[in-house]
Amino acid sequence: MAFIESLQLVLAKPHPAGKPFIYGGIAVAVAGGIAVGTWVFWLAAAFTGFCFYFFRDPERVVPTRPRVMVAPADGRVTMVGPAVPPEELGLGPAPRWRVAIFLSVADVHVNRSPYEGVVTRVAYRPGKFLNASLDKASVENERNALAMRLPGGEQIAVVQIAGLIARRILCTVREGDRLERGQRFGMIRFGSRTDLYLPEGVRPLVAEHQLMIGGETVIAELPDATRETAPPVLKTDTGF
């Protein structure tokens, strides 16, 4: 069963963003193999196979348990700690818990919404292409940041950060769009990082070095509003 699941992951259909690379690789393999030689064919075929693997977009089983937030990306957690959300999102100067997920070239690069909510802000900012695992990459690297308002009024931020060899951040949503938990909203080509800023007062349930599966791994849990706002039960002395 594990082998079948691994095979399904490797052979998952590619994300639409990868089709130009895949079709281009096939065209070069055919035309180059005929006009130049077999070495061009095999080189282009290897590139095409890599693109099939890199742009794979597997289906994910999103948790049905209410009030849990899921990882916005595959990869390994490199940082967990308080940080101020990007200023362009207008979420204020107060630090909140941030979970940084580093995506290697071998990881699935599709980004998914951590929770259901409305996109209130989409802000792109140009920058450098430092190693995405560095802490300063969150400030200095090219990034695309999303702010979301959840049904309970909480606000979160998801930031797509370009990496050392990444040169293209893709975001397919706009301000005012509604996302469901686990829904795809973009991807980053060839190595990157995705940061999640949790609602104020919410602590993460993951630790550094832990592996994430985008859309499936539970990364935090929102407090139960009914428990928080319910009036205390008063005990009375009935004499029994």
% residues pLDDT > 90 (the chain): 50
Which one is catalytic: 6, 113, 138, 192?
192
Per-residue confidence at 79, pLDDT binned at 50, 70, 90? very high
Residue 135's pLDDT band (boundaries 50, 70, 90)?
confident
- 138 catalytically annotated: no
pLDDT at 226 exceeding the cut of 50: no
Residues composing the chain: 240
What pLDDT does 165 receive? 64
Residue 230 has pLDDT above 70, yes or no: no
* Closest residue by Cα to residue 71 from 233, 223, 195, 161: 195
Contact between residue 214 and residue 108 where contact means Cβ atoms under 8 Å apart = yes
CA separation for the pair 188, 194 (Å, rounded): 9
State the average pLDDT for the chain.
Answer: 84
Name the token pair of 114. 């951590």
pLDDT of amino acid 233 = 45
Is residue 180 pLDDT above 50, yes or no?
yes
**Does the pLDDT of residue 182 top 70, yes or no?**
yes
* 192-197, strands of its sheet edge to edge: 178-179, 117-125, 143-149, 155-162, 192-197, 96-103, 75-83, 211-212
| More confident site: 30 or 176 | 176
H-helix or E-strand spanning residue 7: helix 2-10
pLDDT digits (tens, 9 = 90+) for 113-133: 999 999 999 999 887 776 666
pLDDT given at position 24: 86
Pairwise pLDDT comparison (114 vs 136), residue with the higher score: 114
**Phi, psi (rounded to 5 degrees) for 171:** -130, 125
Between residues 189 and 114, which one has the greater pLDDT?
Answer: 114
**Higher per-residue confidence, 204 vs 240:** 204
Question: Across residues 20-34, what is the average pLDDT?
Answer: 83
Is the separation of the CB atoms in 115 and 156 below 8 Å?
A: yes
Of 34-43, 68-77, 230-239, the range with the highest mean pLDDT is 68-77
Better pLDDT: 124 or 34: 124
pLDDT category at 151 given cuts 50, 70, 90 is very high
What pLDDT score does 154 carry? 95
What is d(CA 222, CA 117) in angstroms, rounded to the nearest whole number? 13
